[in-house]
Amino acid sequence: MPILSGGMNSLRKELEEAKLSKSHIRVMLISGMSFFTDAYDLFIIGVALLMLRGIFSMNSMEVGIVASAALFGAVIGPLIFGKLADKYGRKRTYWVTISILIIGALGSACSMSLAQLFFWRLLLGIGIGGDYPLSSTIVAEYANRNDRGKLIASTFAMQGFGIATGVVVAFLLLYANTPEALAWRLLFALGAVPSLMILYFRLKFQETPLYEIFKGKIENAKSTVKEVIGKETLGSDYIPSTTLSEFARRYPNIILGTTLAWFLMDVSYYGTGIFTPYLATLFGFSGTFAATKVSAILMLTMAVPGYWLAVAFIDSEGRKKIQAIGFLAMGIAFIILSIFGSIILKVSSLLFFFIYGLTFLFTNYGPNTTTYVYPTELYPTSIRATGHGIASMSGKLGAAVSALLFPLLLSKIGEFALIGLLGIVALAGFFITLALPETKRRPLSETSGEESLMLITYTLQDRFRRHIGYMQKASSLLREMSYKNGSKEYFKKIKAYEHNADIEVKEIFNTILSSKLSSITYVDVSHLANRLDDVIDAIEKVASRIVIYGAKPDDKIREFSKGIEKSVLIISEGFELLIRLSLKSKNIEREIAEIRDVAAKYENEGDELLRLSLKELAKKGNAVKMIEYKDIYESLEEVTDRCIDVLDVMNDIILRYALSS
């Protein structure tokens, strides 16, 4: 079986180390175009409501409900489709979301009442929300490690073009004097056009290679990897399964960090939209054109450049750094406007607009992009879309809350106090970011924690098996040695096996030292390797004592040797049980306990045998021989003790990872 980190081929290593290719760009564009549509559909409601308010005689409550309908749908969508994507596959679920986008957009355009519009916008939001975990997961599971950040960020950056397109389309419709009763319907209906264009490509979309590997469909994965890297691959691979509850127990900081950061970001980001009409009045705009013109200026000069700054720097500077910078800059800008805003307005309304625009720039440069990237990289394959769905659900909940409550807060506490509140929210996001790890240019198996379990159960299993194999051969030779007087040849062979085992241990440590592991994982792997090495070292020690003393094997040495051989065999059985961790085998904790009980029986027998042997030695009266054989017997008993140590480490690992869920 190939070793992922040990230099041999694996499908994931081929994918992670591949150069940026046309396949990567194609996957990004397909996913990005759907995100273009998501953004258009989600943000166009702001302009449409300026027309709908008069047509449907809407009050403030109705405006808030319709404005937040798609956002509340986007709260539901990520959870539903994230879970479905992990269960049934990214491809199967992907085309469903785009179909919902088409139906929701056309349904909104044909609405004859506010109730109908709310329903279709809610459905549209479910499709939009469902697209968040799918688009990011698909791009990530095709990407190479060096360019993964910019590929996912580019997918998200298409949102900027979608928002800008919506603003431009609205502006053109209004500029062409299109009647408002028709213009709002055209705005909604045009959202279905890009979705229809990419539906064909989604239907032809291949399942991601990582999901195929996770499902054990290696030949399908090979075909996809070949298309991405442009050459045949002979490697195989394996990805362990992790449940959400198990992941939450091991990495609660990841779940809290990704969800809270996104929630705070969306509260702040969508809250800024409340000030668009206010800014419009500062620059002398009035009527329906006002918000549209101001939005167009902000999108083209600040928001869109922010997205592409993130694309440019996310893989070199890192996710954590630019998210922290983004939140911090947002917070500072908002607080400056909150405290000195009235003074700045008197000096220069253009300066006020510039500082306010910086919040859009740094939002998109930082947390608006990175909160989308982070969950995909931090959750393992088996729950990647679900984990991203939880994080994006939290974000959209923040967006929905801000859209629903901020108009009320604006009227209650005033614009400058509300701007200050946005600053506090952004600074809270900065401190949350400090608890998140850096993931730039690291393999997904490392960033998601999959490598932790895989190190023993897959990546290093061949090396551990070979080490145990050398132990078994050494223990068998020791037993044979106990029946022969010519012991030097046996000792040489045992010494050779001990040397080969040392090489395996060295390679195991080379692997874990070159991997970015948690301290617990490092301890687990290193302890197992060291304790296994202790066993074969102890066997070699016994053989060396027999040779040095020129001792003739007796019945006690033979009995000890038989027990050692059985104990080493039990270690082999325990390791194979440990491998089954990744398969979520039932009763695994009970089975390892039973294996250890059997080994403890041999260890206790060894203790008793040592006591009886020393008692008999004391009767013989030959002090020199008594010292020599006492050393040999104690060395033999030490081997069984070391075997118990190995099984204790295995038991600890199983108890840590085989959590019921």
| C-alpha–C-alpha distance, residues 544 and 563, integer Å | 19
Lowest mean pLDDT among 208-217, 240-249, 581-590: 581-590
Residue range 20-205+240-448 in CATH 1.20.1250.20: yes
Going 219 to 220 to 225 to 231, the CA torsion angle's sign is positive
Residue 237 predicted with pLDDT over 80: no
Name the residue among 564, 573, 575, 576 with its Cα closest to residue 540: 564
Residue 79 predicted with pLDDT over 90: yes
- Asked if residues 322 and 314 have their Cβ atoms less than 8 Å apart, the reply is yes
DSSP letter for 145, please. T
Chain-centroid distance, C-alpha 142? 14
Look up tokens 């990175």; give the residue.
370
pLDDT (average), residues 43-49? 80
DSSP string across 569-586: HHHHHHHHHHHGGGGT-T
What does the pLDDT read at residue 440? 93
Which residues, including other chains, have CB under 8 Å from residue 339's CB and lie 6 or more apart?
420
Residue 658 predicted with pLDDT over 60: no
Query: Mean pLDDT over all residues of the chain?
Result: 85
Apex 270 CA angle, 267 and 274, nearest 5 = 115
- C-alpha distance from residue 32 to each of 26, 41, 126, 194, 591 (Å): 10, 14, 18, 11, 49
Report CA Rg, the chain.
Answer: 32
pLDDT (average), residues 177-184? 86
Grade residue 585 by pLDDT with cuts at 50, 70 and 90. low
Neighbours of 398 (CB within 10 A): 25
Within 13 Å and on the Cβ side, how many CA atoms surround 47?
31
Neighbours of 235 (CB within 10 A): 18
Residue 591 predicted with pLDDT over 50: yes
| Backbone dihedral region for residue 318 (phi beyond 0: left; psi -120 to 50: alpha; all else: beta) | left
- Asked if residues 151 and 58 have their Cβ atoms less than 8 Å apart, the reply is no
Look up tokens 């070391």; give the residue.
642
pLDDT (average), residues 461-470? 91
| C-alpha–C-alpha distance, residues 310 and 75, integer Å | 25
| C-alpha–C-alpha distance, residues 383 and 86, integer Å | 6
pLDDT in tens, 259-303: 999 999 999 887 676 566 556 665 556 655 566 677 677 777 888
Look up tokens 């033979």; give the residue.
558
Domain map (residue ranges) of the chain? 20-205+240-448, 451-657
Torsion angle defined by CA atoms of residues 650, 653, 656 and 659, in that order, rounded to the nearest 10 degrees? -70
- Asked if residues 35 and 154 have their Cβ atoms less than 8 Å apart, the reply is no
What predicted TM-score, i.e. pTM, was given to this entire model? 0.76
Neighbours of 251 (CB within 10 A): 20
- Asked if residues 296 and 338 have their Cβ atoms less than 8 Å apart, the reply is no
**Burial label, 366 (beta-carbon count in 10 A; 0-12, 13-18, 19+):** buried
| C-alpha–C-alpha distance, residues 526 and 513, integer Å | 10
Residue 7 predicted with pLDDT over 50: no
| C-alpha–C-alpha distance, residues 146 and 157, integer Å | 18
Within 13 Å and on the Cβ side, how many CA atoms surround 116?
10
DSSP letter for 582, please. G
What does the pLDDT read at residue 4? 39
Between 463 and 273, the higher pLDDT residue? 463
pLDDT in tens, 343-402: 988 888 788 889 988 999 999 999 999 999 999 999 999 999 999 999 999 998 888 788
Lowest mean pLDDT among 191-195, 249-253, 484-488, 617-621: 617-621
| C-alpha–C-alpha distance, residues 327 and 33, integer Å | 27
| C-alpha–C-alpha distance, residues 396 and 68, integer Å | 10
| C-alpha–C-alpha distance, residues 220 and 207, integer Å | 9
pLDDT (average), residues 126-149? 94
| C-alpha–C-alpha distance, residues 313 and 300, integer Å | 20
Q: Residue 204: what are its φ and ψ, rounded to 5°?
A: -90, 0
Look up tokens 């050459």; give the residue.
231
Pull the structure tokens for residue 32. Answer: 């990005």
| C-alpha–C-alpha distance, residues 281 and 345, integer Å | 12
Amino acid symbol at 149: G
Residues across the chain: 661
Q: Per residue, what are the HEC states of 85-118?
A: HHHHCHHHHHHHHHHHHHHHHHHHHCCCCHHHHH
Grade residue 328 by pLDDT with cuts at 50, 70 and 90. very high
Could you name the CATH architecture of 451-657? Up-down Bundle (1.20)
Q: Is 2 helix (H, G, I), strand (E, B) or coil?
A: coil
Check for a shared fold between 20-205+240-448 and 451-657: no
| C-alpha–C-alpha distance, residues 465 and 461, integer Å | 6
Torsion angle defined by CA atoms of residues 486, 489, 491 and 493, in that order, rounded to the nearest 10 degrees? -150
pLDDT in tens, 87-122: 999 988 988 998 999 999 999 999 998 899 999 999
**Burial label, 164 (beta-carbon count in 10 A; 0-12, 13-18, 19+):** buried
**Burial label, 61 (beta-carbon count in 10 A; 0-12, 13-18, 19+):** exposed
Name the residue among 124, 132, 131, 152 with its Cα closest to residue 140: 152
Residue 454 predicted with pLDDT over 80: no
Which of 548-551's residues contact partners 24+ apart within 8 Å by CB, and which partners?
549/628, 549/629, 549/631, 549/632, 551/628, 551/629, 551/632
Residue 3 predicted with pLDDT over 50: no
- Asked if residues 106 and 189 have their Cβ atoms less than 8 Å apart, the reply is yes
| C-alpha–C-alpha distance, residues 25 and 6, integer Å | 30
Look up tokens 């509260």; give the residue.
267
Q: What sections of 176-214 are H helices per DSSP?
A: 180-189, 192-203, 209-214
